[in-house]
Amino acid sequence: MEDFFANIEPILNQEIPYLSDVQQKLLKETSIDENQPGTILRDFQTLIEFLQPKGVEVSSVNNLLPLKVLSELNLRLSHPIDTKLKRPVQKSYPYINGLYLLLRSSGIGQITSQGKKQFLVLEDV
């Protein structure tokens, strides 16, 4: 994971390119809310609410969400996945995995240590 952040940091520090008039017009005309242009905003909010107030204990090896919360979180999303696996892991739920990566890469979600345990918590703002 550290290699990922080392490789993406130069990209994130680049200046944002200028939007053309056509692109600006399109952006202004696009309706953006929790349901459109897709449900990612609503599902991201669901993940944030799921982590409040104390966060969730994550695996000690790669800091992924534990098996015991994946099914519950999946059911709360706008498009839950019906998996037939007996022991699904985080990558078995690609939408949860993508939301997790967005949460971590944005810095909104942080891993903290509490004793020997690791927790995914929301960054204090």
Least confident interval from 12-16, 34-38, 45-49, 80-84: 12-16
Whether the predicted pLDDT of 8 surpasses 90: no
**Is the distance from CB of 50 to CB of 107 less than 8 angstroms?**
no
CATH 2.40.50 fits domain 38-125: no
Distance of CA 89 to the CA centre of its chain: 16
Whether the CA torsion 36, 28, 45, 98 is positive or negative: it is positive
Whether the predicted pLDDT of 123 surpasses 90: no
- For the chain, the structural domain boundaries read 38-125
Whether the predicted pLDDT of 6 surpasses 70: no
Reported as a single tens digit per residue, the pLDDT across 79-95 is: 999 988 988 999 999 99
Tokens of 91: 């990558």
Question: For residue 2, what pLDDT is reported?
Answer: 55
